[in-house]
Amino acid sequence: MSSFVREVRDAVTGRAALLVTGVLVLQLAFIASYVGAFHHPQPRDIRLGVVAPRQVAGSLADRLGRLPGDPLEPEVKTDRTAAERGLRERDLDAALVVDPRGTKDTLLVASGAGASLAQAAEAVTTRAEAAEHRTVKVVDVAPAAAGDSRGLTSFYLVVGWCVGGYLCAAILAISAGARPANRHRAVIRLAALAAYAAVSGLLGAVVTGPVLDALPAGVAPLWGLGALVVFAVGALTLALQSLAGVVGIGLAIAIVVVLGNPSAGGAYPYPLLPPFWRVIGPALPPGAGTWSARSLAYFDGNALTCPLLVLSGWAVAGAAVTWVGAIIRERKKATVERNDGFGEQKSTAR
């Protein structure tokens, strides 16, 4: 028995035990994040344009804004054209056009931004209209493509790109050490990541576009977006590896997968997510990438500035941390070598 205990002690090192504990924590965080984000979707602050006669538009918007749970965030629009423009520019999630001559109004939605959001807007508005003895006709001004079930293709495409980004960076670490030894090695890794990102972005765009006909966006715009997503996630992973060694891979998974995927607005767009996930989603690569892919596919490339800045920020910051970390290690190594050299000279002199 004592020999078996000694074998266990030799086989299970303290470092291995810490890594396994880290995996357990990551697993529990994954479960908590996904279940927390998805277990009870509730509409909140759906941006609703309201088109109605001037004398009732303000009071109607006020009533809709005071619904229990605050599911709607109404905004009066001058006419249907302005409401449709707000939807296409992604300033609105839906719009209610009131018919003053009858009892059937029109709800404008954009299922390309997510079928669940369009359905939530319809459900809330239908209940509110029923209380006023009115009905609603739904018109989809930006419908998801036939091959894009529930508007989820953009989300799954971006998830695939994100997986490729952190796996590529992880493989570079496994094959040549978690931290680049000097600035030249850092440049080589970043260049390899950039080449992989370009190929990955192109292939993802081709598969979802011409091959599967799942996303109605041009190959070139999706290619550029995919390359940026992959490089941003890969650079983030390289930076975390530079700071924390192999543990950086787990940290990257925590940011991109555990926090980023459930908050990306894929299965449930932002107005259906709990506050925490709704706040962090747009600032993380999966959320910025999903929003951008949907904008390219269904909204003529509108509302792209902020998400592209987010992705570019992650890419630049990751590359900078990787580069600076390599310089610091290079200088430390040179300092150690000089000190060792001085020690040898003093020993020889003695």
Specify the pLDDT at position 228. 98
According to DSSP, the residues that pair with 136 across neighbouring strands are 105
Length of the chain, please? 350
Specify the pLDDT at position 350. 52
Specify the pLDDT at position 329. 83
Is the distance from CB of 46 to CB of 73 less than 8 angstroms? yes
Is the distance from CB of 176 to CB of 308 less than 8 angstroms? no
Specify the pLDDT at position 11. 66
Specify the pLDDT at position 17. 80
CB atoms within 10 A of CB 57: 17
User: What CA–CA distance (Å, rounded) separates 259 from 24?
Assistant: 16
Q: Pull the structure tokens for residue 274.
A: 């709990």
SS in 3 state form for 260-283? HCCCCCCCCCHHHCCHHHHHHHHH
| 307 torsion bin: left (phi>0), alpha (psi -120 to 50), beta (else) | alpha
Chain centre to alpha carbon of residue 128 = 33
Low-confidence ranges of the chain (pLDDT < 70): 1, 4-12, 176-178, 181, 337-338, 340-350
Tokens 């359905």 sit at which residue? 119
User: What CA–CA distance (Å, rounded) separates 171 from 249?
Assistant: 10
pLDDT, tens digit (0-9, with 9 covering 90-100), for 88-100: 999 999 999 999 9
User: What CA–CA distance (Å, rounded) separates 60 from 28?
Assistant: 45
Specify the pLDDT at position 345. 58
Q: Which of 261, 262, 264, 238 is nearest to 251 (CA)?
A: 238
Tokens 């509302």 sit at which residue? 303
User: What CA–CA distance (Å, rounded) separates 130 from 77?
Assistant: 22
Sequence letter at residue 33: S
